[in-house]
Structure 1
Amino acid sequence: MPANSAEPARTVEVVLVKGGRTKIRYPAELLGDDGVRISVRAPWAGDAARDFGFVRFESGDVFTEHYWRDRWYSVKEVRDARGVLKGWYCDVTRPAELSGTRLVVEDLDLDLWRSADGTDVRRLDEDEFALSGLPARDPAAAAAAVAALDELEALAHDDAFEALLG
């Protein structure tokens, strides 16, 4: 975050890579970078609304996203256009890399959802992960990914989850 609030906000390009290909890229406002955690804010970057059944992402939603250089996940706080918290969508990823104004994150298919009230915590896309070939291709990365999902799930059932983002 700029030291002087009169300075313009810095924009970064978030690049989400999956299976060696760019899945999506979008501009985001850099909120902070402490050398370990990078935080950005961006509107929903999808072309259309996406309904998961347990949450719907749509135009007007705002994502405050937290990426780590030393952790195998990212956590995205999701709020609707009025600012009402929907919950947190967590991606299991390789550690983030910020180079200049480009934040690159490799998605490893595993995800976790935590509702705003913390009562709905669900692991997602374990079938996609199994089909990705990562466990056979890179067993160490696959083990790190599964451990990250386990850690996220444990945090999501605890009050420590929100402290992770503070």
Structure 2
Amino acid sequence: MILKAIFLWLKKRSTLVFLTLLFFLFNVLLNYFLPSEYALDLKFAYSVDQAYQSLGNLSLSERNAYKFGIIALDFPYMLVYGLLAIGLLRIFWKSSKVAILPLGIFVMDFFENILIIGILNDFPERHQVLATLASIFTTSKWMLVGLLAIFLLVGLMSHYRIYPNTVRSENS
């Protein structure tokens, strides 16, 4: 019942426009709080040494701002981009099953954030396991984001009948 209501809400153009505006707003805010050169979230993969080297390049106040950005912005942003992706995928693919992909990204991002916060809380103490797991979740997240981009692109092309396999021949 709740899922059906959410899916109906995500079908509305006004909802998708609102989520798109929030998506861009969060990106601007996250760029301010997450140091793009050193933020672990934005890397595809990293070793334990690379993780601690990146965080070591930040001052204490920058690490605190990074942690604040994760807690106050990245967690709600996950909900925004997840809902936006589900709404767009449902329009393009006409199926609820595609919601699994944004959900997977959400889960990877959630655990990535938890682990990065743990690393930041104890910095400069090194936690090999936390950093390794964080990198695994980060890489998994970005792989799923790439898959999402492909699904959105193919869905968009199919939706607008640009994709050759969706053009119906007059003989069929």
The TM-score normalised by the length of structure 1 is 0.29
- As a proportion of its length, which structure holds more strand? 1
- As a proportion of its length, which structure holds more helix? 2
| Larger Rg belongs to | 2
Higher relative contact order, chain-length normalized (CA < 8 Å, sep 6+): 2
The TM-score normalised by the length of structure 2 is 0.28
